[in-house]
Amino acid sequence: MEDKIVVKGLNLCFDTHHVLKSIDLNIRANEILSIIGPANSGKTSFLRTLNRLNDIISTVKITGEILLDGIDIYKKDILLPWLRRKVGMVFALPVPLPRSIFENIVYGPRLNGVTSKAKLEELVEKTLKAAFLWDEVKDRLHLSGTKLSGGQQQRLCIARALALEPEVILLDEPCSGLDPLSTSRIEEALYELKKQYTIVLVTNNTKQAARVGDNVAFFLMGEMIEYGSTEQIFTVPHDKRTEDYITGRFG
């Protein structure tokens, strides 16, 4: 399989705080890469370098290279909205914007200039189905997104990211606040989605990584300790620290 994203020698600092230390990582197309590691290991910061969301923090310094389909996304003439439409993101806590379900989903497409009502409606149906939410909300698309349950909100956020028609989807601990049932719904959705998209999933939950990931990267203190297939990482980890983490000695 070809590499969708290539990360070379990535370093990231907030002021004097060195958060990511020379990360090299290839993310293949149409796979789910899970990134695991204890809190504060730099997982989320790494994820946010992929759609340049760290840029909004003015103290950030980033060196190294990230290539998306061979294009350096930190090149000067990259338009951020373009990048962020290509690389959709779902956050740890579901944040529906204070507007209706429908309006939440069409927010991105509208900004991109889609105005046709038929096209928007089609998009809403398609993405809600892909996020396994359509049946639950199809009769009340004009209900405020904030009125949904936590699990529904998170699936709405996934649908909203899908509506951008991205190529890559970043998920930042998308199930951290959810009950097991909602979690399994979302994992189901992810499994379907990888046929079309490249997915990067940050998770605190090693079991989740074992369930859904094709490959796993283990982060610790801003370094990538080990990268390998899910099977290899969870059965014969090469690094002692990886083994300690996945067997629950720390984390």
Partner 1 sequence: MLKPIFYEQVMKRILFIGTAITVFILFFIILYILKNGLPVVDLEFLLSSPKDFGRAGGIFPCIVGTIVLTLVAIIIATPLGVGTAIYLREYTREGRLTSIIRFGTECLAGIPSIIFGLFGFVLFVVYLGFGWSILSGGLTMTFMILPTIIRTSEEAIKSVPASYREVSLSLGATKWQTIIKVVLPSALPGIVTGIILGVARSIEETAVVIFTAGSVLRIPTSLFDSCRTMSVHFYILAREGISMENAYGTAAILIITILLINMFAYWLMHRLMAKYS
Which parts of this chain interact with partner 1 (CB under 8 A)? 51, 53, 56, 58, 80-82, 84-85, 88-89, 91, 93, 95, 97-98, 107-108, 111-112, 157, 160-161, 164
Shortest Å distance, C-beta 217 to partner 1: 21
Q: Which two tokens stand for residue 206?
A: 């090693």
Q: Which two tokens stand for residue 100?
A: 């209706």
Shortest Å distance, C-beta 9 to partner 1: 25
CA distance linking residue 23 with residue 7, whole number of Å: 7
CA distance linking residue 230 with residue 216, whole number of Å: 5
Nearer to partner 1, 156 or 225 (CB): 156
Shortest Å distance, C-beta 92 to partner 1: 10
Nearer to partner 1, 9 or 98 (CB): 98
Nearer to partner 1, 89 or 216 (CB): 89
Nearer to partner 1, 83 or 189 (CB): 83
Question: Quick check: 200 and 170 in contact, CB under 8 A?
Answer: yes
CA distance linking residue 203 with residue 174, whole number of Å: 8
- Sheet strand arrangement including 3-14: 17-28, 3-14, 60-68, 71-72
Shortest Å distance, C-beta 107 to partner 1: 6
Nearer to partner 1, 97 or 143 (CB): 97
Count CB atoms within 10 A of the CB of residue 81: 10
Shortest Å distance, C-beta 55 to partner 1: 9
